[in-house]
Amino acid sequence: MHARSAGRAVLVIAASAVLAVLPAMSASAHNTVVGTTPAKGATVTEQPGIVSLTTNDALLDFGENTVLQVVGPDGRHYETACATVEDATAEVPAELGPAGAYTVVWQVVSTDGHPISGEFGFDWQPSAGEAMGAGSDSAACGAGSGASAPTASGAPSTGESSQPGTVPVGDVLWIGGGALALVAAALVTWLAVRRRSAD
């Protein structure tokens, strides 16, 4: 085997190894959900006012990458604003409508910069006299909703919603670090192979 083709084979093997290991490495740093309001599966009889999700660690505030949508049994949205982040909790104001099963669809950004997402449900059985929200056909926040995530400075949004695929900084660091490790490992192995085949 020529040294050059051996080096190329090593590169391919090293690349495969890095790609296989990366997801496992990054998963260990993800926030995990420790609680929600309302609680998952709960029967709610009074307007909760706020729907929230709490994790085990501080969340990153990436504006519209933080999503909490409250979807009613009629498929309409009952969240009334953009979600906000406070330490380990993301929350959104909501005014529930008709009785029935509600689903909260959420996405938050982990401490390591990776988005995590999921959903949970609760049952809305309003007591007599509870006011009902009208809901909306579309999400209260995000592209096309006309609303924008509040910013710390209170400055108007500058159209971040046109880039839904924005890669969090953490991802770039993970990928950059992985690529560096791969290049270093491949170089060392290739030099070893070349020395052996030169003998």
Q: Which two tokens stand for residue 71?
A: 């979807």
Q: How far apart are CA 96 and CA 126, in angstroms?
A: 9
Nearer to Cu ion, 10 or 109 (CB): 109
Nearer to Cu ion, 49 or 118 (CB): 118
Q: Which residue is nearest to Cu ion (CB)?
A: 114
Q: How many CB atoms lie within 10 A of CB 140?
A: 22
Nearer to Cu ion, 108 or 186 (CB): 108
Alpha carbons within 13 A on the beta-carbon side of 70: 32
Burial of 33 (0-12, 13-18, 19+ CB in 10 A): middle
Q: How far apart are CA 144 and CA 147, in angstroms?
A: 8
Among 20-28, 43-51, 71-79, 121-129, which window interacts with Cu ion (CB under 5 A)?
A: 20-28
Nearer to Cu ion, 34 or 188 (CB): 34
Nearer to Cu ion, 21 or 191 (CB): 21
184: which residues sit within 8 A by CB, 6+ positions away?
A: none
58 binds Cu ion (CB under 5 A): no
Among 43-51, 52-60, 101-109, 113-121, which window interacts with Cu ion (CB under 5 A)?
A: 113-121
Nearer to Cu ion, 114 or 194 (CB): 114
111 binds Cu ion (CB under 5 A): no
Among 64, 79, 91, 112, binds Cu ion (CB under 5 A): 112
- Distance from the first to the final alpha carbon of the chain: 13
Q: Is 6 left (phi over 0), alpha (psi -120 to 50) or beta?
A: alpha
Q: Which of 46, 108, 116, 37 is nearest to 70 (CA)?
A: 37
Among 37, 73, 114, 116, binds Cu ion (CB under 5 A): 114
26 binds Cu ion (CB under 5 A): yes
Among 105-113, 124-132, 143-151, 184-192, which window interacts with Cu ion (CB under 5 A)?
A: 105-113
Binding site for Cu ion (CB under 5 A): 26, 29-30, 112, 114
